[in-house]
Amino acid sequence: MPSKLLKELNASQREAVEYLDGPLLVLAGAGSGKTRVLTYKIGYLVETGVAAPYEILAVTFTNKAANEMKKRVEELIRIPLQGLWIGTFHSICARILRIEAQHLGYDRNFTIYDVDDQVRLIQQIMTGMNINQGVLKPRKVQYAISQSKNKMRGPKEFEERAGDFTTRKIADIFWEYEVALRRNNAFDFDDLLIKPLEIFSQQPDILEKYQTKFKYVLVDEYQDTNRAQYYFIKYLSAQHRKVCVVGDEDQSIYRWRGADIENILSFEKDYPECKVVRLEQNYRSTKVILKAANAVVAHNQRRLGKNLWSKKEHGAKISVHPTTDEGMEAATLVEIIRTETRQFNRNYNEIAVLYRTNAQSRALEDRLRRANIPYVIVGGIKFYERKEVKDVLAYLRILVNTRDSVALRRIINYPARGIGAATLQKLEEYAFLKKIPLYQAVVEVAENESIPLATKAKIQAFVDALEELRHKKENFSAYEIAREVVDTFGLAAQYSHSELIEDQNRLENINELLNSIAEFSEKNSDENATLEKYLEDVALLTDIDRWDPNFSAVTLMTLHSAKGLEFPVVIITGIEDGLFPLYRSLENQDDLEEERRLFYVGMTRAKENLYLLWARQRRRFSGESSGMSFRNTPSRFLKEIPQSYKEEVRTEDELVYSYDNSEGLLDSATVSAYAGEMMENEDYHIGDWVIHPTYGKGQILAVQNSHTGTKLTVAFSNKQIKKLIAEYANLKSVSSSD
DNA sequence: CAGACAAGGCTTTTT
DNA sequence: GCCTTGTCTG
């Protein structure tokens, strides 16, 4: 039956969907409909009966993409996709580990450790080993271990390569860390990818089970797979060899995380019989944006090469905005957003603001807040990484996995209940001597001679409360348990009595967490709505998964987070040499090419209008040069955009500060932002108050010296903004605002 | 043992 | 500049 699905595809897309006989490499340029191909391919496989949903494994880059894709396919073919395995590498691996964990000596209710948990565990280990954490930072150790695991090197391989003293010390910690993870019945993020491979190599029968099961394996964003992910796909598809990978070498941006662009570049070597389909028609961007992006990425050496084209309109030129400093950059940003929303009637959610580093968001946020422009930030401090959220989760974790000592330590005296460092030390000694998990030592506190009676009573009360909940867990929903945890241990109460905005936020976050658990309980059928499953979901969720594109707000995020998304208007900030590309990538050709790909990714997110902002001066707060201002030159990538596709806009010369503030007062940051460039004039200063014969009292927003005289931009109390020539305006200056 | 205050470090990107 | 961590005092 020739599926009607195929009619909705162009020739290349159709070719990619229809080819089912063997390995397939789809080289899909930005905006060329690769998600569409994957979606339709799954639909086609199921509709034609070539494969049942449970015989398909589909790997996506985010959980959100997985959910959307599944929903979309079900809408298309109107067949429920029960049993389909779709999700990120991490979630699929976690699923396998739940089933097979016993082969590694783990329980199926293992915990997944995020970076924060890993660092806490490493701190514990280092304390135990008497290593000075001031000299060797736990965070550094965590990074080194993670990087090593990303390359599939365990403690043994790490030790073999360890040259200097510090690295050998890290190797020692690495060994202990692995032991501790096992003891805690926990995997870290990197384990999720590595451990299934361990099981596969130790027990070929288990590998074979999955190889037989998955007739078709589909992988999105293949250019960003690392070594472990590469082997994972290779092993699982070895039997049927029906593996379809989709990717774009020009969008490979995760080298630092161990992603190996070679995986896609050499796919044809791995599978000599493979078919290659190129998707080169871009449906997203205007011709100008696309050609400019192509011109930039053409500077890279290591690529398969492709020729992206678009049938869309020519479109507006890319506007490049040089600004004085980060304050002016933010002011310019506000101005652009105002123009787009007021003049061109855009909704806020049609606009994305992208930057290289999370730290850049603060200056932008401040200004957006003052200008009353609604915005959401994706990334940065993630919701599930917030202290108050992690506190609640730690309680839930210890209920599920009593061996999770990282969780236990976090909550044993939080909120404070009189179990201090000294007591914890005694409990730990007890656990160590009896070779039992810390939680067990807490349960057995009655038998512990070294702890004073009064303290014992406190610990006993804590244990009793936990144990009661642990038993309730079997018969109550995840939400009910979480609600009770929060009430029993007073996790919200401590914030609800406070008037600090910060505490109010924390309270809100706890409520939001409870809501999310309630939503989870409702959405999933009973057997899947367990606390265990919830904790796993949460551990693997990213901020982008929680992001609602329909919410009417400007979206702020890093360029990395923007991958896979599109917006009518994209504003990229901080396009300066040293920031983008970053200094540390300037020396190395491979690193520089990755930065360029990142810029390419950013540019190609834009459908209609693209703005590029950079600041001549920017304050930095990292490294030795902390707090210093730097003179910047525009990013070398800017020069790689052909002149005919861009135009420079000197916004600040004509920038009029929009005047929403009804009191007519300018905040100090605004004043200083304007003051940066234009303080030269002796008679008039930004922020000064003046009286005009007809307009009345006003405040100076901008001063410019031009050949016609001193141009002033003044905001008057009737909310009018006027540009005046000082020499003719007959202004009187007033000393203060009254 | 808990809360207040000071010092130090940090920021490249994320599952 | 802000946040986390450590130290001091009650």
Confidence category of residue A565, pLDDT binned at 50, 70, 90: very high
- CA–C1' A137–C4 (A): 13
Query: What contacts A215, CB < 8 A, 6 or more positions away?
Result: A51, A55, A56, A240, A242
Contact A509, A546 (CB under 8 A): no
What does residue A704 show for φ and ψ, rounded to 5 degrees? -135, 135
Per-residue CB contacts under 7 A with strand B, chain A residues 285-314 = none
CA of A624 to C1' of C7 (A): 25
Q: How far apart are CA A491 and CA A423, in angstroms?
A: 22
**Which residue gives the smallest C-alpha to C1' distance to B2?**
A416
Which nucleotide is at minimal CA–C1' distance from A88?
Answer: B15
- Residue A277 CB in 7 A reach of strand B: no
Nucleotide minimizing C1' to CA distance for residue A582: B12
pLDDT value for A627: 61
Residue A421's nearest nucleotide, by CA–C1', is: B1
Q: Any atom of strand C under 7 A from CB of A627?
A: yes
Q: Which nucleotides of B are covered by protein (CB under 7 A)?
A: 1-3, 9-15
Provide the positions of strand C that have an atom within 7 A of a protein CB: 1-2, 4, 6
Average pLDDT over residues A451-461: 87
**What is the structure's pLDDT at A703?**
62
Nucleotide nearest to A418 (CA to C1'): B1
Percent of chain A with pLDDT over 90: 52
The integer distance in angstroms from the CA atom of A664 to the C1' atom of C6 is 45
Q: What residues of A act catalytically? A: 34-35, 220-221, 251, 605
Predicted confidence band at A723 (pLDDT cuts at 50, 70, 90)? low
- Model-level pTM? 0.84
- Chain A window 368-397, residues with Cβ within 7 A of nucleic strand C: 387
Q: Is A258 left (phi over 0), alpha (psi -120 to 50) or beta?
A: left
A426 CA from B7 C1′ (Å)? 30
Per-residue confidence (pLDDT) for residue A613, from 0 to 100: 94
Whether the beta carbon of A500 falls within 7 A of nucleic chain B: the reply is no
Burial letters A391-411, b for 16+ CB under 10 A, else e: bbbbbbbbbbbbbbbbbbbbb
Residues 423-462 of A with CB under 7 A from strand B: 423, 455
Q: Is the pLDDT of residue A677 over 60?
A: no
Q: Is the CB of A509 under 7 A from strand B?
A: no
> What is the pLDDT, as a whole number, of residue A682?
52
Question: Which tens digit of pLDDT belongs to each residue from A298-337?
Answer: 999 888 878 899 999 999 999 999 998 888 899 999 999 9
Q: Is the CB of A584 under 7 A from strand B?
A: yes
Q: How far apart are CA A607 and CA A282, in angstroms?
A: 10
Contacts made by residues A588-597, CB under 8 angstroms, sequence distance 24+ = A589/A301, A590/A255, A590/A302, A591/A255, A593/A300, A593/A301, A593/A302, A594/A252, A594/A253, A594/A255, A594/A256, A595/A637, A596/A296, A596/A297, A596/A299, A596/A300, A596/A637, A596/A640, A597/A250, A597/A251, A597/A252, A597/A253, A597/A297, A597/A300
Q: Is the shortest CB-to-strand distance from A133 to strand C under 7 Å?
A: yes
Task: Please count the residues of chain A.
Answer: 738
Longest pairwise C-alpha distance within chain A: 91
Q: What is the pLDDT of residues A142-190, one digit of tens each?
A: 889 998 998 999 999 999 998 888 888 899 999 999 999 999 999 999 9
- Report the phi/psi class of residue A578: left, alpha or beta, with left for phi > 0 and alpha for psi in -120 to 50: left
Tell me, what's the pLDDT at A679? 36
Which residues of A in 196-235 have their CB below 7 Å from strand B's atoms?
A: none
What is the spatial distance between Cα A414 and Cα A405, in angstroms, rounded to a whole number?
Answer: 14
Gap from A421 CA to C6 C1', Å: 14
